[in-house]
A and B are shown apart, each in its own frame.
Chain A
């Protein structure tokens, strides 16, 4: 069987990127955000916050894995 065009034309990712955990931070599950271990300040309000990223760190993989 010839290869289907959707497989032939697929972009191959070199490596699967992983979302990195913010350094020196801990996730406050009660407040729902990352904070610095040293002083409890919200990481996102710091001078060098992690970039906003959505559920797959904005890697274009088709938005959702619907159905399995």
Chain B
């Protein structure tokens, strides 16, 4: 592959390319989008495909390979894989029917199957749906037929853990508020929390390495829950955010990414 940046020519060969940092995987297929001009549709779709076609560089270290990323981002697949590896996972139901058999008086975690990021054209505001804690009776009041969602057992009390995995190295932090675990989705108050580096038990580290190898991922933001000495796998994000984490915890995440590439 030959790339020109201004007047400089760069030649990239499969045999010598050492690493690819696939930082912002967005799958742009803008078919029939009225708000985009023809040129914009052409630009977005074809350049996006060009990036995906870079998988021909199969000798380079990828963070992360697009094929592995798109496979691993599926939550049911993650949970199944984690369970197969030997992780404890929350009991999970996927449904679009509010009449399912759940305990009306019990608390559940309700979350989206895919990232629930919306733009309201009427209010011109962006919206994002975090995980929510609901009592079964409240959930039954909604009409879920329009879209499926995940219902999971509510595990409490808990300490949330984010373990950033980079090429075999694991950087775990406990996520606390005033020294205590959080009841709700910690991301709702991300900027007001403590991120305390610590060491995971060896058997959990081994499970993480095994899982990431199974998913063919060299990087991931892994969410775990610690409840009464039990570690539960919640999810892995192949393109998880980490900038805020390095700033707050002082963990050398960016250095680890550079060294791995």
Q: Show the binding face of A for B, using Cβ within 8 Å.
A: 1-14, 16, 29-30, 51-58, 60-68
B206 contacts the other chain (CB 8 A): no
| CB <8 Å contact, A6 and B116 | yes
The CA of A65 and the CA of B127, in the complex, are separated in Å by 13
| CB <8 Å contact, B129 and A11 | yes
| CB <8 Å contact, B129 and A68 | no
* 9 sampled A-B residue pairs with Cβ under 8 A: A9-B130, A11-B130, A30-B6, A51-B243, A53-B244, A60-B128, A60-B130, A63-B239, A68-B26
The CA of A47 and the CA of B241, in the complex, are separated in Å by 24
Q: Show the binding face of B for A, using Cβ within 8 Å.
A: 5-6, 8, 23-30, 33, 70, 73, 110, 112, 114-118, 120, 123, 125-130, 132, 134, 139, 141-144, 146-147, 149, 187-188, 190, 237, 239-244, 246-247, 254
- CB nearest to B188 among chain A residues: A11
| CB <8 Å contact, A6 and B129 | yes
| CB <8 Å contact, A5 and B144 | yes
- CB nearest to B111 among chain A residues: A6
Partner of B115, one of A2, A29, A58, A65: A65
Partner of A12, one of B26, B30, B127, B147: B127
| CB <8 Å contact, A9 and B241 | no
The CA of A60 and the CA of B240, in the complex, are separated in Å by 10
| Known contacts A6-B129, A60-B128, A66 near B116 by CB under 8 Å | no
Residues of A within 8 A of B127 (CB): 7, 10-13
The CA of A10 and the CA of B110, in the complex, are separated in Å by 12
**Chain A contact residues: over half helix, strand or loop, or mixed?**
loop
Listed residue (A8, A55, A56) with the most chain B CB atoms within 10 angstroms of its CB: A55
Given contacts A66-B25, A68-B33, 5 further A-B contacts (CB under 8 A): A7-B127, A10-B127, A13-B126, A54-B243, A55-B23
Residues of B within 8 A of A53 (CB): 243-244
Residues of A within 8 A of B129 (CB): 6-7, 9-11
| Known contacts A10-B129, A13-B126, A62 near B117 by CB under 8 Å | yes
| CB <8 Å contact, A9 and B243 | no
| CB <8 Å contact, B143 and A66 | no
Residues of B within 8 A of A58 (CB): 190, 241, 243-244
| CB <8 Å contact, B130 and A6 | no
| CB <8 Å contact, B144 and A66 | no
| CB <8 Å contact, B244 and A62 | no
Listed residue (B128, B141, B149, B240) with the most chain A CB atoms within 10 angstroms of its CB: B128
Residues of B within 8 A of A12 (CB): 120, 123, 125-127
Residues of A within 8 A of B144 (CB): 4-5
Residues of A within 8 A of B243 (CB): 51-54, 57-58
